[in-house]
């Protein structure tokens, strides 16, 4: 009788865990970084977990510049993330911190300075480029 109970428990556990991949294995989704600026290009994209604010930023996630009206796709597990996007033009460097982006389906980060200027979950830093005259 004990053997039947053990076999029954093992079989039930196997059925439960093989049918619950969504619970055990996190799903992956795309975060598409889209450059909406017509005169600026994105040089770097960094991320960190949005759940732990003491974590360090990742390495640069883009392998080349993202020029105006181009998209770059990144693959992430489900969760909350903070993003740091660096842009530049001829005169300035721009840093946009986009906080608490929830990735539970495919997400598009439309990067434009005017879009994030008045949002509570974003911070923009504008730094002039130092040009030395000869």
| pLDDT per residue as tens digits for the range 75-130 | 999 999 999 999 999 999 999 999 889 999 999 999 988 877 666 778 889 999 88
CA distances from 24 to 19, 90, 94, 108 (A): 10, 48, 39, 26
Q: What is the pTM of this model?
A: 0.75
Residue in 77, 92, 76, 1 with CA at minimum distance from that of residue 33 = 76
| pLDDT per residue as tens digits for the range 16-54 | 666 655 456 678 999 999 999 999 999 999 999 877 766
Taking the domains of the chain in order of start, what are their residue ranges?
A: 27-128
Degrees to nearest 5, angle at CA 94 with 134 and 44: 100
What is the rounded CA–CA span in Å between residue 16 and residue 51? 29
What is the rounded CA–CA span in Å between residue 85 and residue 103? 17
CATH number for the domain formed by residue range(s) 27-128: 2.60.40
Residue with tokens 């982006």: 101
DSSP letter at 57? P
């Amino acid at each position: 009788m004990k053997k039947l109970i053990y076999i029954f428990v093992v079989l039930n556990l196997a059925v439960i865990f093989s049918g619950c991949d969504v619970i055990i294995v996190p799903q992956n989704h795309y975060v598409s970084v889209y450059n909406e600026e017509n005169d600026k290009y994105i040089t770097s994209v960094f991320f960190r977990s949005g759940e732990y604010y003491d974590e360090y930023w990742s390495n640069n996630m883009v392998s080349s510049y993202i020029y105006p009206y181009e998209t770059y796709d990144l693959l992430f597990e489900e969760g909350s993330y903070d993003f740091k996007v660096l842009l530049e033009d001829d005169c300035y460097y721009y840093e946009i911190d986009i906080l608490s982006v929830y990735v539970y389906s495919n997400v598009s980060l439309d990067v434009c300075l005017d879009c994030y200027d008045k949002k509570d979950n974003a911070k923009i830093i504008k730094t002039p480029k130092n040009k030395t005259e000869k």
